Amino acid sequence: MKRLLFIRIPLILLGARVLYNGVHVARTANFNLGTMLLLGLGAAFIGYGLLLSRLRKWTWLHVTAGVCCLLLVGSAGALEVYGTRDNATYREDAVLVLGCGIDGERVTGSLARRLDAAIAYHAQNPDAVIVVSGGQGAQESITEAEAAARYLTERGVPADKIIKEEQATSTVENFKYTAVPLNERFPDGYSLAVITSRFHVFRAVRIAKKQGLTVTHVGAPVVRYTVPMNDLREVVAVLNEVRRGTI
């Protein structure tokens, strides 16, 4: 029984953390199947932990759960590794910074790190235009693009090098709506680098490819303690995009 306790408690705590993260995403972003899957995953961890003593003889269930957990961990790790392998040439015509939510008019830590990566890119390639993409969502007083543009200009990026795309509410729309101003500015074609958080790079690149774009990428760092939850949530998001046919 004591041995089971050492397994049950971590499962319940993990489930509670995943469930909390799912509720936070549902409140601050789009509520979709990906969010529902995340909530379901959290509930499954909690339920499995609570019922583990009753299910101790169900060997097939434990093996299945173990394999699923290994697949989740392996997939999350692959996303993390992919996001650290930047391939931007610093000769691109444009840079797209994907939005990730703001608090009122203030950029969040995640968005700030993406914008800091864009500033570092600008220092090496000042001729490239920087597109900041993101509409106005829940708990936001202005669009994400406007908040991002203010952040960049306050830190020395010339306003004439910034393009605001203020309609997108998802990664798919980030690329879809960004193509309009870029096609107008570069009628003969352009090269594009995308900047987003490391865990998000794979999904962003695959979505761009699905839309016929060829992009390079720079992965912005994330706070270390948030890595496991971000990666887990991203695995669910990738599966949802596969279901929708957007990657």
Do 197 and 153 sit in the same domain of this protein? yes
- Decide which of 84, 104, 120 is a domain's last residue: 84
131 assigned to some structural domain: yes
Do 45 and 135 sit in the same domain of this protein? no
Do 75 and 98 sit in the same domain of this protein? no
- Containing domain of residue 34, as a range? 2-84
- DSSP helix/strand/coil, 165: strand
247 assigned to some structural domain: no
The string of pLDDT tens digits covering residues 39-86 is 888 888 888 778 777 777 777 676 777 777 788 778 888 888 899 999
229 assigned to some structural domain: no
Do 98 and 53 sit in the same domain of this protein? no
Task: State how many domains the chain has.
Answer: 2
Q: For residue 139, how many C-alpha atoms fall within 13 Å in the half-sphere facing its CB?
A: 14
- DSSP helix/strand/coil, 95: strand
Do 131 and 68 sit in the same domain of this protein? no
Do 206 and 103 sit in the same domain of this protein? yes
Do 16 and 104 sit in the same domain of this protein? no
Do 119 and 215 sit in the same domain of this protein? yes
Do 102 and 165 sit in the same domain of this protein? yes
Do 216 and 112 sit in the same domain of this protein? yes
- Decide which of 63, 84, 105 is a domain's last residue: 84
- Decide which of 84, 110, 131 is a domain's last residue: 84
Do 115 and 192 sit in the same domain of this protein? yes
115 assigned to some structural domain: yes
Do 147 and 195 sit in the same domain of this protein? yes
Angle at 65 between CA 64 and CA 71, to 5 degrees: 90
Residue 136 CA from chain centroid, whole number: 17
CATH classification at residue 128? 3.40.50.620
Give me the tens of pLDDT residue by residue for the chain, a chain 247 residues long.
Answer: 455 656 778 888 888 887 887 777 666 655 655 677 778 888 888 887 787 777 777 776 767 777 777 887 788 888 888 999 999 999 999 999 999 888 889 998 999 999 999 999 999 999 999 999 999 977 788 999 999 999 999 999 999 999 999 999 999 999 999 999 999 999 999 999 999 999 999 999 999 999 999 999 999 998 876 776 778 788 888 988 998 899 8
The token pair that represents 44 in the structure block:
């499954």
> What is the reported pTM?
0.79
- DSSP helix/strand/coil, 103: strand
- DSSP helix/strand/coil, 100: coil
